[in-house]
Amino acid sequence: MRRNILILLMILIVSVVSIFGYQTYQGFVESQEFNSYLESASLISSLHKQSSEQFESLLDFSEISREDFESIINNIVSNAKEAYEINSNISSEINRKERELLNLSVIYWLQGLELFEASIITLIDNPTSQKIEESIAQSIADLSIGDRSYSEFLDLVNQNADLDGTFLPVLYNIEYIGIEDNSKRFADLLVDKAQSGTGGLFLRRNLAVTGSEFIPTPIAFTEEDYAVLLDEEIQLQIVLSNNGNVDAYDVVVLVLVTDEFNETVFEQQSKINNIGPQESKIFITDAISIEKGKLHEWFIKIEAIEKEEDLNDNLYRVYGFIPPES
C-alpha cells in the first residue's frame, strides 16, 4: 500500500514538474517572440520619430518654400512606407493588443501623410479647389488616430515591461498632430492662409505670355494658324501676365524675329517696371519690315524671375508672312 502511494506521489511530482517546465518553456518562447517584435517596433518608432519632427517644420507655412516642402514631405512619406513594410513583415504568430495598436498607428500615419501631401499640393496650385478643406481635415484626423493608437501602444508596452524575459528597446514618444481632434479647425486655417497668403509655401511667382496680335490686323490666317500680313511695317502687341500672387519687378522681355532660313531679322529687349499680382500689361514691339514671300517667326521670351517655378508659359511663338507679289 505504502509503495503504491509513493508511486502515485512520484507520478504527481513528475507531472507537476513537467507542466511547470512546459509552461516555463512556452513563456520563454513567447517572451523571445515578443522581444523580436519589440525590436521591429523600435525600428518603426525610430522612423516615425524622425518623420514627426520633420513634419513639424512643414507646418510653418510662412517660412517654408514649395521646393523644401516637397523634399521634406517626400522623405516623410518614404519613412512611413518603410515603417509600413517592416510592420507587414512581422510574424503573424504575434497576437497581442500591442501589435493591434501599433498596426493601427502605422496604417493611419501612412494614410494621413499621403493624403496630407496630395491635399497641400492641390491647395498650393489651386486655393479655390472644391472640398479641399474636407481632404485636409481627413488627413489630420488620420494622423490623430495614429497618434492616439501609438500612445496607447506605449502605455501597454510599459505596463508589461516587468514581465519575465521582456527586454524593452528604445521606443520614442511620437506625435504628428496630437490626440485632440482639431482637424476641421486646422484645415480651415490652412485654406485661409493659402487664399490670402503671399509668402512662404503659398507664395506663387509665375509670369506668362498670354496672347498677341499683329498690328495692323492680318488679312487672314492659314490652316496652320500663320498670319497673312499686309505689306506694311509690322508690330506685335504682346500680353504679359502675372499669374502669381506677388508683384513682379523689372520684367525683361526678349523678342526675336527670324525668317524661314532661321536668319535673325529683328531683335528687341525691353523691361517692364512692374506687373502686379493677377495683372496683365501690353507690350508693343518696334515696327519692322519683313521680306515678302517668306514665313517669319516671332519668338517671345519673358526672363524668369527669382523662384519662378513654371517657366513653360514664359515662351511664346507666332508666325506670319506677307504674300509674294503675283
User: What single-letter DSSP state applies at residue 309?
Assistant: -
Q: How confident is the model at residue 13, as a pLDDT?
A: 55
Q: Which amino acid is at 202?
A: F
CB 296 within 8 A of CB 320: yes
Mean pLDDT per block of 10 residues along the chain (326 residues) reads 60 49 43 80 95 88 78 96 93 77 96 94 78 90 94 90 72 86 78 68 86 97 96 96 89 96 96 93 96 96 86 95 88
Distance CA 64, CA 200 (A): 5
Asked if the peptide bond before residue 277 counts as cis, ω within 30 degrees of 0, the response is no
Q: Which H or E run includes 49? A: helix 2-58
Helix intervals (H) in 59-96: 66-88
* Positive or negative torsion for Cα 45, 50, 55, 56: positive
Instruction: Please state the φ and ψ torsions of residue 184, each to the nearest 5 degrees.
Output: -65, -45
Residues linked to residue 9 through DSSP beta bridges, in sequence order? none
Find cell 524575459 and name the residue: 165
Rg (CA), the chain: 35
CA distances from 62 to 109, 200, 286 (A): 25, 4, 42
Distance CA 266, CA 235 (A): 11
b/e string for 252-272 if b means 16 or more Cβ within 10 A? ebebbbbeeeeeeebeeeeeb
Q: How confident is the model at residue 294, as a pLDDT?
A: 95
CA atoms within 13 A on the CB side of 211: 6
Find cell 503659398 and name the residue: 202
pTM of the model: 0.62
Q: Which H or E run includes 62? A: none
